[in-house]
Amino acid sequence: MESPASPALTFRDATDADVDALVGLVESAYRGDASRAGWTTEADILDGQRTDPEGVLEVIKSPDSRLLTVERDGEIVACCQLEHRGEYAYFGMFAVRPSLQGAGLGKVIIAEAERQARQTWGVSEMHMTVISVREDLIAWYERRGYRRTGRTSPFPYGDERFGVPRRDDLRFELLVKPLV
């Protein structure tokens, strides 16, 4: 397992030139056999893609979104989406290279994302949605101060842009954290 502590991480907004690398990163963190090297894999609940170049480019181009890209030694090792939604920011598309997962890098990135959302937009909360059957992932976010709201939204069955479900009980649960 690689160490996230050194060398230093660089945070920057993604550009059009990053699209292919970011799609590859997100896919490697969540889908297929490569994702099994980390603990965030969704390979047992979803087949197909997690994102595509059009979806990543849409986030990069949106005036209310940022795709925060994390580099080490000039190489992209993680990313996350921040979207300004009025009083709160939405956190999504979070991916860490599977070989770096479990070594503390995610904690550093989410803390920086929260700091940047507060500083850039002055928001008081961060919201995210997580597939409700991902109990290990939800527990990780709870340890970072996020709370389950009990509010859910349906999984987009039939829309393969979000993957091909391997089970019929998927839904998204809203998690919220005050940013004070």
pLDDT in tens, 25-38: 998 888 877 778 77
**DSSP 8-class letter at 137:** H
From CA 24, how far away is CA 17, in angstroms rounded?
Answer: 13
pTM of the model: 0.90
pLDDT, one tens digit per residue, over 105-137 is 999 999 999 999 999 999 999 999 999 999 999
Task: Please identify every stretch of the chain with a pLDDT value under 70, giving residue numbers as ranges.
Answer: 1-7
pLDDT confidence of residue 7: 67
